[in-house]
Amino acid sequence: MTHYKSTMLLPGGIYATLERRAMLTTTEKSKLIEKFKAHGQDTGSTEVQVALLSEEIRRLAGHLKTHRKDNHSRRGLLGMVAKRKKLLDYLRESRPPRYAAVAKKLGLKGSVRRSE
């Protein structure tokens, strides 16, 4: 995992050290898996994958607000969003109740299915 520290000069000549994390830590992943798992030994169900991707997307979006010209990270973000969309589409078609539960827990926009 990539951890890096940067030093920033604050007004008044005070230096602050900021620690930035690029990825989810193992404990953070474990907490998300525990929250979204479908059964006792679940680590890779669609629900868990969507939850992990959603957290990574949230973090990367925050990074891009600060670093607007980071096009490499932007491309990675677009790939993650596309993958999450595919997983959510699969979940919506195959298991609508589980899709609704995951979308509600994650607070995703458009999580309520519209009548077509």
Kindly report the pTM of this predicted structure. Answer: 0.75
The pLDDT tens digits for 13-37 are 676 555 555 678 999 999 999 999 9
Tell me what pLDDT residue 23 has. 79
Quick one: CA torsion of 67, 69, 70, 75, rounded to 10 degrees? 120
Query: What is the Cα–Cα distance from 24 to 43, expressed in whole angstroms?
Result: 15
Residue numbers in the chain where pLDDT is lower than 50:
1-2, 115-116
Q: Which domains does the chain have, with CATH numbers?
A: 24-106 (1.10.287.10)
Question: Would you tell me how many other CB atoms lie within 10 Å of the CB of residue 35?
Answer: 11
